[in-house]
Structure 1
Amino acid sequence: AKLRAEKAKLLGYDNWAVYQLEDQTAHDVPTANKLLADLAPPAVGNAKREAADMQKIVDEEKGGFQISACDWDFYSEKVRKAKYDFDESEVRPYYELNHVIVDGVFFAANKEYGLTLKERHDLPVYEPDVRVWEVFDRDGKPLAIFIGDYYARASKRGGAWMNAYVPQNDLFGAKPVVANHLNIPKPPPGEPTLLTQDEVRTAFHEFGHALHGMFSNVKYPRFSGTSVPRDFVEYPSQVNEMWATWPEVLANYAKHHKTGEPMPQALLDKVKAAEKFNQGFKTTEYLSASLLDQAWHQLNPPDVPRDAVAFEAQALHKAGVDFPPVPPRYRSCYFSHAFAGDYSAGYYSYIWSEVLDADTVEWFKQHGGLKRENGDRFRAMLLSRGGSADALGLFKNFVGRDPYIEPLLKRRGLDRAPCTDDTKTEAPPTK
């Protein structure tokens, strides 16, 4: 942190955070600080209510102790079962991989953007399980090649991601070749590949990145597709997640792999209700880490402390997130995003992207949802532009205003703190 602070000074910036945020969507430190400060009170408030629900179970069982961080997973699961009566295994028979991809992900892309995908068995692949589709635009002309690499294997890194093997650009007349990589466990031969709720959401999410790459319409490769600020890149893909539970889309793909029966409404209601469960905890632990990231990287060189533990305690208390049962997701000494990765002073970007995403989802809902008109607008005004224009300006042009924080609070089931009267995240003028 001290070396970064010194480097920022040498480059003429007040601190490392100012230097890092200059070319991000947030643009400056006050905007990032305000976002985190606005979210902290409702997140901590809900986390305390969640802890109270767990404490009630402890007391009923005569446990004789106060809920602490190490108890959270065990007792939150008890609360989840009691409140929602939902077992993840109940939904898996309705989420068969091919149906999810073809009848879900591709179906939504057809309805929203007019795309059609034709599988190409004649093209070479690097693994037998990898699938390739040629993507045709709404006018029937070839648009891109899409590669689906869905299964886990020993030689593959973990997680899920999108690659643009050939970025679209007019300079060389290149059409995009994009791929989605997931890590779904491969079942025994003859058995269906059944997904979890999270894996379904991930499939829609990663295809959102793929759409960003396929719809790119820029001259230079440098600005193609997902070549956008870090705090903006997850936004379009998160928007695409909305179609996973959109009624028309869900009815088309969520069918029992044996009987073909659609998912019962009662089960779907449980799935939707459980989405807001434990969000106080999840949001608070994330915000705590984000606030620590900013606290370290907004220091001047002489102010960087030697006692990291004491500094953390002071920073968390000052931010109002010092709730012992919910510690930061990462402590300073093992915070690789901030100190060993590309997210120094940028860990806030995940929630920033979700603010934009939740606000955009509300726009879609208010304008009829899964309609070609909406998709054409999103494509033309945002997805096609890549990094060729100011990212926040693209968002504001699409929704017609600055981003509001309320849709995110609603999505996560967070209650607004009574003392907070500002209902939107102010953004500076676009540059």
Structure 2
Amino acid sequence: MRKSLACVGLLLGTSAALPAYAAEAQAMQGAISIPGAEQIPQRCDEVLASLRAQVKALEAIPPGKLSAASVLNGWNRMALDEYALVGPLSLAAETHPEAAVRTASEACTLKLAAFDNEYLQSEALFRVIKAAQGQDAIERNALSRILEDFEDRGIGLDPARRERLRTIFERIELLAQEFNRNVRDVTTRVSFTAAELDGVPAAYLESAKKNEQGEYQIGLDYPDRDAILQNAKNEDTRKRFYIEFFRRGGERNLAILNEVDGLRTEIAGLFGLPSYAAWQLRTRMAGTPETVDRFLAEMQAAVAPVERSDIAVLRDAKRKLTGQPDAELKRWDVDFYDNLVKRERFSVDPQRVRAQFPTEPTVAWLLDVSSRLYGLRFKANSTLPVWHKDVRPYDVIDAKSGRYLSSFYLDLFPREGKYKHAAAFPVRQVSTAAGSTPISVMVSNFSREGFSQDEVETLFHEFGHILHGVLSQTRYAMDAGTSVRRDFVEAPSMMFQEWPWRPEVTRRFSAVCPTCKPLDAKLIARLEAASRFGKGIWFARQNFYSRYDMALASAKPGEAQSVWRAMEAETPLGTVEGTLQPANFGHLLGGYAAGYYGYMWAMALGLDMLTAFGKDAMDVKVGARYRSTILERGGEVPPTELVTQFLGRKPDNRAFFNRINGKP
């Protein structure tokens, strides 16, 4: 069920009638219930017992009473009850400050994953689902997606292969947890003297810890990465930090990745398919590995000359600064010289940008822009319980009707034991059939000193996911919010990350924060120009990640680190000895295996949808149409149909390739 349904976070559900559930949901509204470590095992067992009883009830529906409505309402009830626990626990496993809660949450989510494999291999339940006849497009789509889940879990295989498949899925789930934990819980500190950190902002160093020798102890969170790689003048400092940053996860994670790749190859073999990519992509928008390979080849051909041009500019900047006419650009140099060129060409100083986008006003600006564009009110709700003092809960109200829609939480800053990247966690899904309202949580690791230019874009990107979740109005939870095809899920976010540098959007900043330094038109033009500079390197890197992911999902994946080294050595900037980047490439075990291409695929769709706004990104009429056509429909309608409805034409890649080539 979790394959097609993101996490739901009510308190324990039961098999009560829908009106009682609706009353419970309304009373709970935006609260997330995270049990204590000692309560989790018992609650987990209670939920599993209830869910197994619901499976038996569905299996036993007599033919005379079997209908799509009876089947889907029962399925929906079971989904909501499961995610009443797995939603909060999946969040807690990645963000809770107590290690015991994280450990207990991981143990329970493994049991729930095993339950998913169990009921999706039930022949009796499969026969019931297959016999149901949908009465409208939404019912037919839901039944079709459920049958896909059964097929993925091997319902069409003989008993021996089905059992082996179940064992494989459970092993991969366990290994994925360990992989993510090894990155999340890293405590490595890199020691530097004050001289070695010349150029690093004083504000950052003021909060950095020192050892007994007076050396700074630098962690490996994203604010640390930005501070060092973007600002440290000493090249050896940048090199040492770069290598340590990309050793997170260590040799153990390489071993995990290799084992998982072998298991995935075995999955494909059990289905008689040539590769894991062929198995994974058969239900995605792309459909086949060949389609993905063509897309990535076209992208590579377009980006290669742009990447070479960007590298030449940064290399020349390095030669000029160092006085070494034969100096070559290295991977640990890219961020530093990118910032240097931006300061010289566009008068964009990263530290001044942070000062221009202080944390609280920037978050308020994001909420103001989103609420105006989509006809909403965001109301801070301090009565909702939180798992850490940094976490901020909000309720979402429809501005026109005054109706409560949903809630979301912002968990913005790094801490030990917390998820290291940026993501949106759907903790409760909407179901209009059951009266369930959605909750999403934005988890990130931003600096407290204000937002960099990249962080502003990331803030809008991740909030695009939040909006996709909390504005969803789907009938069934399985279709809610971001429960769409994996290669479409990033499209709304890729579109929304374009908003910050539009003048009609930046004008709202002064309205939100009258005491902040105004974002004048010339500054915004410089920021937009600076954001486009160096994108050849960025696009090329995204293309590389995608091709590497497809290589590991091929018929003969090879050893993960060796494949990385060989492929990266062929790129213009080469490979870096001592790094173990596959060991911290969490997407490979986080749902994006044979799917990382989806970021660029979705960006093409997002930039295409952006064209509907024309020259006014704050056009509320287009915003209302986008909300109702794309955000509210979730996975109820295939993505290509949704985009076609919104644009009034079939989607294409022109805007995407124009962006690569630096065209408007």
Query: Normalized against structure 2, the TM-score is what?
Result: 0.54
User: Which secondary structure does the structure 1 equivalent of 2:532 belong to?
Assistant: coil
Letter in 2 for 1:375: G
| 1:11 is the counterpart of 2:289 | no
Aligned residue in 2 for 1:346: 595
Q: Distance in 2 between matches of 1:77 and 1:198?
A: 12
For 1:303-344, what per-residue CA distance to the aligned partner results, in whole angstroms no more than 9, with x for missing partners? 56679858975x78xxxx93332559x988647457544322
| 1:83 is the counterpart of 2:331 | no
Q: Distance in 2 between matches of 1:257 and 1:402?
A: 40
Aligned residue in 2 for 1:51: 311
Shift in Å, 1:117: 2.0
Q: Distance in 2 between matches of 1:2 and 1:213?
A: 34
| 1:69 is the counterpart of 2:330 | yes
For 1:350-404, what per-residue CA distance to the aligned partner results, in whole angstroms no more than 9, with x for missing partners? 11111111111122226x4322221221122211111222123222322233433
Shift in Å, 1:50: 1.9
Letter in 2 for 1:363: A
In structure 2, relative to structure 1, the CA distance for the partners of 1:290 and 1:304 (3 Å cut) is: closer
Would you say the 8 A contact 2:276–2:594 is kept in 1? yes
Alignment of 1:27-42 (within 5 A): 27-42=287-302
In structure 2, relative to structure 1, the CA distance for the partners of 1:261 and 1:291 (3 Å cut) is: closer
For 1:129-181, what per-residue CA distance to the aligned partner results, in whole angstroms no more than 9, with x for missing partners? 43332221132211112323333333533232223332111232111222323
| 1:274 is the counterpart of 2:530 | yes
Deviates more, 1:332-341 or 1:29-38: 332-341
- Which structure 2 segments of 5+ residues have no match? 1-260
Aligned match for 1:136, one of 394, 397, 422: 397
Q: Distance in 1 between matches of 2:424 and 2:558?
A: 39
Aligned residue in 2 for 1:189: none
Q: Which has the higher contact order (CA 8 A, sep 6+)?
A: 1
Would you say the 8 A contact 1:44–1:323 is kept in 2? no
Alignment of 1:207-222 (within 5 A): 207-222=463-478
Would you say the 8 A contact 1:285–1:326 is kept in 2? no
Aligned match for 2:415, one of 131, 153, 172: 153
Aligned match for 2:462, one of 206, 228, 232: 206
Greater helix share, structure number: 2
Aligned residue in 1 for 2:506: 250
User: Which secondary structure does the structure 2 equivalent of 1:219 belong to?
Assistant: coil
Shift in Å, 1:278: 1.5
Letter in 2 for 1:371: D
Q: Distance in 1 between matches of 2:340 and 2:405?
A: 49
Q: Distance in 2 between matches of 1:2 and 1:120?
A: 47
In structure 2, relative to structure 1, the CA distance for the partners of 1:259 and 1:405 (3 Å cut) is: same
Q: Distance in 1 between matches of 2:462 and 2:563?
A: 40
Letter in 1 for 2:420: G
Would you say the 8 A contact 1:95–1:256 is kept in 2? no
Would you say the 8 A contact 1:95–1:195 is kept in 2? yes
Letter in 2 for 1:12: G
- Which structure 1 segments of 5+ residues have no match? 187-192, 416-431
Aligned residue in 2 for 1:359: 608
| 1:391 is the counterpart of 2:652 | no
Q: Distance in 2 between matches of 1:341 and 1:156?
A: 16
User: Which secondary structure does the structure 2 equivalent of 1:151 belong to?
Assistant: coil
Deviates more, 1:253-262 or 1:36-45: 253-262
User: Which secondary structure does the structure 2 equivalent of 1:351 belong to?
Assistant: helix
Aligned match for 1:373, one of 610, 617, 621: 621
Would you say the 8 A contact 2:265–2:275 is kept in 1? yes
Q: Distance in 1 between matches of 2:559 and 2:393?
A: 53
| 1:111 is the counterpart of 2:372 | yes
Aligned residue in 2 for 1:427: none
Letter in 2 for 1:45: P
Q: Distance in 2 between matches of 1:398 and 1:234?
A: 17
User: Which secondary structure does the structure 2 equivalent of 1:183 belong to?
Assistant: coil
Aligned residue in 1 for 2:285: 25
Number of equivalenced pairs: 398
Aligned residue in 1 for 2:119: none
Aligned residue in 1 for 2:573: 325
In structure 2, relative to structure 1, the CA distance for the partners of 1:205 and 1:10 (3 Å cut) is: same
User: Runs (4+) of structure 1 moved beyond 6 Å?
Assistant: 255-258
Would you say the 8 A contact 2:552–2:558 is kept in 1? no
Aligned residue in 2 for 1:423: none
Letter in 1 for 2:341: V
In structure 2, relative to structure 1, the CA distance for the partners of 1:160 and 1:373 (3 Å cut) is: same
Computed over aligned residues only, the root mean square deviation of the Cα atoms, in angstroms, reads 3.2
Shift in Å, 1:255: 7.6
Letter in 1 for 2:393: V
For 1:257-284, what per-residue CA distance to the aligned partner results, in whole angstroms no more than 9, with x for missing partners? 7944412333222211111122111221
In structure 2, relative to structure 1, the CA distance for the partners of 1:152 and 1:54 (3 Å cut) is: closer
Would you say the 8 A contact 1:212–1:225 is kept in 2? yes
Deviates more, 1:335-344 or 1:238-247: 335-344
Would you say the 8 A contact 1:135–1:143 is kept in 2? yes
Would you say the 8 A contact 1:68–1:324 is kept in 2? no
Would you say the 8 A contact 2:495–2:607 is kept in 1? yes
Which of the two has higher C-alpha Rg? 2
In structure 2, relative to structure 1, the CA distance for the partners of 1:92 and 1:185 (3 Å cut) is: closer
Aligned match for 1:176, one of 438, 444, 449: 438
Q: Distance in 1 between matches of 2:397 and 2:294?
A: 43
For 1:97-116, what per-residue CA distance to the aligned partner results, in whole angstroms no more than 9, with x for missing partners? 332233x2222223222111
For 1:22-57, what per-residue CA distance to the aligned partner results, in whole angstroms no more than 9, with x for missing partners? 122222223211211111022111111123224444
Would you say the 8 A contact 1:176–1:213 is kept in 2? yes
Deviates more, 1:64-73 or 1:34-43: 64-73
Would you say the 8 A contact 1:96–1:257 is kept in 2? no
